[in-house]
Amino acid sequence: MASRLSASPPVGRGFVAPLRRRPSSGSLTASTDQATDRPVAMSDPKVPASAPDSSSPVLLVGLGDPVSDILVRLDAPSLAARVFDACGISEPGGCVPVDSDDDIRSLLSACGEQWIAGAGSFDQASESFSEYLPDGNPMEPSYCPGGSAANVAKGVANLGGDAAFVGMIGRDDIGARYRDLLRSQKVRPILLEVDESTENETAPPPRSAQCLSLVEKGGQRTMRTYLGASLKMGASHFDEHVERLAFEGGQGDANANAKSSTPPSGSTLLHVEGYTLYRPELARTALAAAKRRGALVSLDLASFEVVRNCRAQLTSLLEDGLVDLLFCNEDEAAELLGETRSPDAFAREDAGRAMEWMLRYVQVATVSLGARGCVTRDRRGDRGVSPGARVSVVDTTGAGDSFTAAFLWAYLRKGSLQACCACGCAVGTAVVQVLGAELTGGRWGELRDDLETVLERDRTRALDPNYHPQTQ
């Protein structure tokens, strides 16, 4: 299907863990004689791929669904009950797809009516449904650019790294707003637009993706998602032009044959969200392109349902050596092991077994354990561990993605696995304390200073002659 390229991130998972101030042990990257120009094949478990020099910019390209998150905060249980009843939601929690953006509008209208009736209040981050409220409301709607891979790109960009995001939007105001908001988050948008001429004339073209997230006190989310135009992106759309824009830098153009306006910068890592596995040809095309470019590839499994429904596609990509770093949470790890258990019953020993399975195929395996922290391991035997922390959870939206962003930022800066865990947990903890995955510029600046301190202490400790990589 044809598309138009326009110049220019489903919703993330929760994570709560602290920043560890002590410098960490273990070096993830290869020694000088081990380093290679390109990531090594997964068939060789002894030699890890080389990360960029610690002084080089962090370069990350995200691939996934460009979903505009619409956040509604339901602080009072009585208000939440009325909203769920008005929306026909009998079982709060989880993420359920809807057929059209009209469904999103109807749900928002029902939310607005109950909000006014219950004398609810909302802050700037939750004003997204204001255009659907009764006449006379003067506020303009605000949307948060979401989607798992886009959240990772936003996190890397806000930590000072160079980040881009590839996806497909509709030719509508929602998509245009999404592009602008990505730019405001310092992410370079590479957004294709659905070619309406190829759509069924009897049906309107799909609109840009949206996700309504009803957030209760304590952080539980009930999501209704319309993926729309994002599902139209296939393998053919990740063509030579898109590949060049993604991996060489430059700004996109409405003309698919346009030349890049800036010199190549050389990409470091392609991050792909697990939902892309539902389009296996697209995933394989993008991953293969990254490998041709000498880039590393990271994959976040996104949901236990992705693992369950796309196991064959996942295994095929892993067996072909197309993934270097693999991220999952307790649910996804249990599904990898063919087990069913609650997250609270998933122990560190279970995470260890899951990482052993993953390390058959990838170089770095990471399992997040929610409020209990995270564990990670690489093929050389280096490890990283971070315990959980008690914080006031407002909303877990995008927290897991923010963890991944900071982990990758530290990894691409040659941080040890312990340092990567500390950085990831620090940012994940910060994000669960706000509505949505949106931190202020000042807060991002504070976090970057903290993370730079972690990496500096990490490098100092690595120079200690008595230093030995963590093995416990």
The model's confidence at residue 143, banded by pLDDT at 50, 70 and 90, is low
The model's confidence at residue 184, banded by pLDDT at 50, 70 and 90, is very high
Q: CA quadruple 167, 249, 182, 154: dihedral positive or negative? A: positive
Within-domain flag for 180: yes
Rounded mean pLDDT, 270-287: 96
pLDDT tens digits along 430-440? 988 877 667 88
**Which are the contacts of 470, defined by CB distance < 8 A and separation ≥ 6?**
24, 25, 26, 382, 383, 384, 416, 417, 418
Q: Which of these ranges, 59-68, 311-320, 369-378, has the smallest mean pLDDT?
A: 369-378
CB burial readout 128-148, b (16+ within 10 A) else e: bbbebbeeeeeeebbbbbbbb
Rounded mean pLDDT, 314-321: 97
Q: Which of these ranges, 24-33, 109-118, 454-463, has the smallest mean pLDDT?
A: 24-33
The model's confidence at residue 192, banded by pLDDT at 50, 70 and 90, is very high
The order of strands in the sheet holding 325-329 is: 3-7, 187-194, 162-169, 59-63, 269-273, 296-300, 325-329, 364-368, 374-378, 383-386
Question: Does the pLDDT of residue 472 top 70, yes or no?
Answer: no
Within-domain flag for 381: yes
Rounded mean pLDDT, 442-462: 93
Domain assignment of residue 314, given as a range: 3-67+147-200+265-462
Confidence (pLDDT) at 40: 30
Confidence (pLDDT) at 447: 96
Confidence (pLDDT) at 396: 75
The model's confidence at residue 456, banded by pLDDT at 50, 70 and 90, is very high
Question: Does the pLDDT of residue 38 top 50, yes or no?
Answer: no
Report the distance separating Cα 333 and Cα 160, nearest Å. Answer: 31
Confidence (pLDDT) at 250: 53
Maximum average pLDDT range among 82-91, 216-225, 276-285, 330-339: 276-285
CATH number, position 12: 3.40.1190.20
DSSP 335: H
Lookup: tokens for 341: 């258990």
Maximum average pLDDT range among 13-22, 73-82, 92-101, 353-362: 353-362
Cβ atoms of 40 and 287 closer than 8 Å: no
Cβ atoms of 133 and 116 closer than 8 Å: yes
Within-domain flag for 281: yes
Question: Does the pLDDT of residue 453 top 80, yes or no?
Answer: yes
Within-domain flag for 186: yes
Rounded mean pLDDT, 60-73: 90
Confidence (pLDDT) at 458: 93
Question: Does the pLDDT of residue 171 top 80, yes or no?
Answer: yes
What is the percentage of the chain residues whose pLDDT exceeds 70?
72
The model's confidence at residue 123, banded by pLDDT at 50, 70 and 90, is very low
Confidence (pLDDT) at 198: 63
Cβ count within 10 A of residue 196: 14
Within-domain flag for 273: yes
Tell me how many domains the chain contains.
1
Confidence (pLDDT) at 254: 33
- Average pLDDT of the chain, as a whole number: 77
Within-domain flag for 95: no
The model's confidence at residue 356, banded by pLDDT at 50, 70 and 90, is very high
Confidence (pLDDT) at 343: 66
Cβ atoms of 253 and 191 closer than 8 Å: no
Q: Which of these ranges, 87-91, 134-138, 239-243, 407-411, has the smallest mean pLDDT?
A: 134-138
Confidence (pLDDT) at 95: 82
Report the distance separating Cα 355 and Cα 375, nearest Å. Answer: 9
Question: Does the pLDDT of residue 333 top 50, yes or no?
Answer: yes
The model's confidence at residue 121, banded by pLDDT at 50, 70 and 90, is very low
Within-domain flag for 140: no
More confident residue, 266 or 39: 266
Cβ atoms of 429 and 389 closer than 8 Å: yes
* Entry pTM: 0.79
